[in-house]
Amino acid sequence: MLTVRKALTSTVGRKFIMGASGLLLVGFLFVHIATNLLLYAKTGESFNAAVARLWSLGSLVYLLELGLAALFASHIVVAITLKRGHREARPDSYRMSVSKGTVHNNPASRNMAVTGIILLVFLILHILQFRFGPGISEGYSVVINGKTERDLYRVVTEAFKNPIYVALYVAVMLFLGSHLRHGFWSAFQSLGVLAPRISKVIYALGFCLAFVLAAAFLFIPIWIYFDLGAGL
Number of chain positions touching ligand HEM (CB under 6 A): 27
CA distance linking residue 152 with residue 53, whole number of Å: 13
Q: Does 5 bind another protein (CB under 8 A)?
A: no
Q: How many CA atoms lie within 13 A of 227 on its CB side?
A: 4
Q: Of the candidates 195, 230, 231, 232, which one interacts with another protein according to CB under 8 A?
A: 195
Identify what 24 binds: another protein, ligand HEM, none; CB under 5 to 8 Å per kind. none
Sign of CA dihedral 160, 162, 165, 171: positive
What are the residue ranges of helices labelled H in the chain? Answer: 4-9, 11-36, 45-55, 59-89, 107-110, 112-126, 152-159, 163-190, 196-225
Q: Does 173 bind ligand HEM (CB under 6 A)?
A: no
Q: Of the candidates 59, 99, 137, 145, which one interacts with another protein according to CB under 8 A?
A: 99
Which residues face 150 on adjacent strands?
141
Q: How many CA atoms lie within 13 A of 27 on its CB side?
A: 11
Identify what 26 binds: another protein, ligand HEM, none; CB under 5 to 8 Å per kind. ligand HEM
Give me the 141-170 binding string for ligand HEM, x by CB under 6 A, dash otherwise.
------------------------------
Q: Does 181 bind ligand HEM (CB under 6 A)?
A: no
Q: How far is CA 149 from CA 56, 57, 71, 118, 163, in A?
A: 10, 14, 29, 32, 28
Identify what 116 binds: ligand HEM, another protein, none; CB under 5 to 8 Å per kind. ligand HEM
Of 52-60, 90-98, 138-146, 222-230: span binding another protein (CB under 8 A): 90-98
CA distance linking residue 220 with residue 168, whole number of Å: 12
CA distance linking residue 48 with residue 108, whole number of Å: 36
Of 22-30, 93-101, 125-133, 220-228: span binding another protein (CB under 8 A): 93-101
Q: Which among 70, 82, 72 has a CA at the least distance from the CA of 12?
A: 82
Q: Of the candidates 39, 51, 79, 202, which one interacts with ligand HEM according to CB under 6 A?
A: 79
Supply the minimum distance, in Å, between the C-beta of residue 16 and another protein.
Answer: 7
Q: How many CA atoms lie within 13 A of 49 on its CB side?
A: 9
DSSP helix/strand/coil, 147: strand
Enumerate binding residues for ligand HEM (CB under 6 A). Answer: 15, 18-19, 22-23, 25-26, 29, 75-76, 79, 82-83, 112-113, 116-117, 119-120, 123, 176, 179, 183-184, 186-187, 190
Which positions touch another protein (CB under 8 A)?
A: 1-4, 6-7, 10-16, 82, 85-86, 88-105, 109-110, 112, 182, 185-186, 189-196, 199
